[in-house]
Structure formats: structure tokens, C-alpha cells
Amino acid sequence: MQKLLTQDEWIARAQEVLPAGGFGNFDPGIFIARGQGSRVWDENGTEYVDYLIGSGPMLLGHGHPEVMEAVLDQLPNGMTFFANNAKGVELAEAIVDAVPCAQQVRFVASGGEADMYAMRLARAYTGRDKILKFEGGYHGMSAEAQMSLAPTKRVNFPQAVPDSAGIPQSVAEHMLVAPYNDLQAVEALLSEHHDIAAIMVEPLQRIIPPAPGFLQGLRDLCDRFAVLLIFDEIVTGFRLAYGGAQERYGVVPDICTLGKIIGGGFPLAALAASSDIMRHFDKSQVGAEGWLMQLGTLSGNPVAAAAGLKTMQVLKREGSYDRLRSLGAQLQKMQSEALSAAGIAHQVCGDETLFDLYFTDAPCVDYRTAHHKYPERAARWSTALRRGGVFKSPSKMYPSLSLTQADLALTEAAVQAAVSALD
């Protein structure tokens, strides 16, 4: 029998073959061995309630039986083809049925890929080069998306700051940056720059909610200046509501990107828009000059499509989103009440379906205000929660439909212990 390795042994092995000892996604000091329902276990066998849920995709929890059945039904028929398949078409139909802006869909393998193609599609459609994004907005790992994602120094708007080495200075010349929730700044930039192809925005920027009227204001400005509006719904799609942020906030963009939940835990993402915009993927309609070349080995993968389609079918059932919001509200309340009782300044920021805390007494309205006034408290808080059996990102808490009352009770005990650790 093969000897089981401890977590420390796996960490040592990873440090030999992986830069910084990890995949670049999460704390390399923890190795998750398995997940089931609302729980995950590390390589030492330590059990946690999972509020990371794969950074969002596992909204139904790990190993949901209906999703597993759909995947196991597909596997004997083939894992990938690099050709059209029925499951992919069914998934595209379900997305078109659910998402207000979607008349047609193009599949890719990751959210970052979808965001990159959305920007390229906007340029192809409008014939303009510049993209306006918001400081702190996350749109994947392309050179354009890495502009002013998490700048460590403040510069004057609309200057774009690269957040990674290896990005040519020329990329910044085609990106404009504005503060989130500031319509005046957006209007000023649209008035000054007449070569903007699109505004790209997370409707819920990381966990910062849009101010009342902000998203509709963007829609109105885009219509006025003939600029496309792109909603990055990689995170919010099928999370805030079945129709995503478009349904939740009642604002319809020209293009949206989707990921995470639509793959049911497998690598799959998409961009969607009207057939008029999407025709740029069809060379026979727009000719060689207007054609947007796009292909990918795993785009529309049938296993991922089967998992995503079943996930969406489960989410569509009556009461799913009411329950998800109720769970999120309970998690928000237990943390806020415990911190308030201890006299600890904080803000609960986000939506019931996706949120976290900032240790500050100031409102969080954009990238420059949404931060911890007391970062040492945030570090102690995260450490104490992990010690209490709560597995989450340092900056987000993702509720899932797999959560039970036992999970909430464990979480509340961890929260009380974490509050004590802040004293």
C-alpha cells in the first residue's frame, strides 16, 4: 500500500516543481484532498466548511449527485472532440433562454479568455481601439485586464497602471481607467475620447455593489455615445439570480461574459451578445477584415457542458435563489452582530450571494475606499476562521446551496472565536 503523505510533505514537493510552491491561485500552504457537499478535507484530514467553493463554480456543492450522474453519462461517449456536440448546443440554448443580452453564444475554456475576446469583439464591431474599465475591476489575465486591477500606488485617472511584469507600455495607451460608481468621471472620459469601443464592468465589482442608478447610468451613457457596454458576469452569472446581474439589477449590456457556474466545476466559459454583434465570429458574414478569429482545443467541451447544463437545471428550480440569499443573509448577520457586540468597526460589503467584511468604519464604494483600515485585524480574522474550520478566501465568502444548519452552527462558533482573537 502506498504511503499517504502529510500536507507538509506535499508542500515540500510542490516547492521543488512549482514557482512559489503553488498554482498561483490560493494559499500554497494548504492542499485540499477532497470535497463532498459543503465540506472539504486537506491532506492531513482536517475538515472545513467550504466558503471558497473553487472560487465560485461549486454553487451546488461538491459532488452533487445529479451533476455527477450527468458527467458519468457523458464520459463513456467521449471526453472532447474539437467539434460541435449536442451538449454544447443544449447549454448554449439554456444560456440564451436565461440571459437577457444573449442571442448567440461562443464558448471558450476560461473566464479570462472570455473577457479577452469580449474586448476584441467590441473593437471589431465598433472599429475603435480603446476600452474603459474601472480601477480594481478584475477581467482575467490578459495584458489589457491586468491594467489597474490592484495598483499599489495611486495615479491620476484615467491613466492605466500595469499590475504585472511583461506588459508592453503600448497596452496602457488603449486602456482608460475610471473610479467605480462615478458616472461623472465616465461621462467626462466619453466626452473627451471619441475612440472608445466599450465600457467593461463587473456589475458587482469584486464585492462592491453598484450605487443606485450606476449601472443604468452606464447603459444610458453608452447609448448616448454609441459605445458598447460589456458586463463581466464570470462571477455574477447564475449567482446573483438565474439571469445573473442583468436580471438582478434590471440593466442589459451589449455583451456579457460568463464562466464558473456554467461549467459546473469544469473548465468552461462563454461570451454572449446579440446576433448582430456575434456575426463577427462568422467570416462568411463580415469578410476577412471584420472577422474575429477564435478557437480553442477545449471550447464547448461536452463533459463541462453536461455538468454546467445540469447545474443550471437544478438552479432553475423554485426557491433556489431565495434559499441562497437566506443562507448568505444569516452568514452576514452572524458576523456583523458578533463584531458589533465587541465594538469592532467593520463593513459588510457585497450581495447576500457573495460578500465579505472590511475592517473599517468608512463606506466602501470603489477600489480606493474598499480596504481594511486595520489590516492586522483582517489577517488575524482569516487565521482564526481557518483554525475554527472555515475555509474561505481572504477577500470573499461564497455561500453555496449545499450548506446545512450544522455548517452554519460551526461557522458561528468559528466567528465567535475569531472575534475573541481580535481583542
- Cα–Cα distance for residue pair 8/225, rounded to 1 Å: 56
Among 258, 359, 260, 264, smallest CA distance to 304 is for 264
Phi then psi for 385, rounded to 5 degrees?
-65, -45
Q: What is the CA radius of gyration of the chain?
A: 22
How does pLDDT run across 309-331, given as a tens digit for each residue?
999 999 999 999 999 999 999 99
Domain 65-315 class, CATH top level: alpha beta
Catalytic residue among 42, 115, 232, 351: 232
What is the rounded CA–CA span in Å between residue 172 and residue 294? Answer: 24
Contact 231, 198 (CB under 8 A): no
Cell digits of residue 61: 456543492
What is the band of 423 on the pLDDT scale with cuts at 50, 70, 90?
Answer: confident
- Residue 224: Cβ-neighbour burial (10 angstroms; 0-12, 13-18, 19+): exposed
- Among residues 130, 260, 310, 392, the one annotated as catalytic is 260
Average pLDDT, the chain: 97
Q: Is the pLDDT of residue 100 over 90?
A: yes
Rounded to an integer, the average pLDDT of 348-352 is 98
- Give the amino acid at 209: P
pLDDT (tens digit per residue) in 1-37: 667 899 999 999 999 999 999 999 999 999 999 999 9
Architecture of domain 26-63+320-378+396-422: Alpha-Beta Complex (3.90)
Residues contacting residue 322 through CB under 8 Å, at least 6 positions apart: none
* Residues 242/316, Cβ–Cβ less than 8 Å: yes
Rounded to whole angstroms, the Cα distance separating 230 from 203 reads 9
Which strands, in side-by-side order, build the sheet including 269-273? 104-108, 269-273, 255-258, 228-233, 196-201, 130-134, 175-178
Domain positions in the chain are: 1-25, 26-63+320-378+396-422, 65-315
Q: Which of 138, 180, 367, 398 is catalytic?
A: 138
Three-state DSSP at 273 gives: strand
The Cβ of residue 282 has, within 10 Å, a number of other Cβ atoms equal to: 13
The answer to whether 138 is a known catalytic residue is: yes
Verify whether residue 153 is a known catalytic residue. no
Q: Does residue 232 have an active-site annotation? A: yes
pTM (2 d.p.): 0.97
CA dihedral 261, 264, 270, 273 (to 10 degrees): -60
Residue 1 confidence (pLDDT): 61
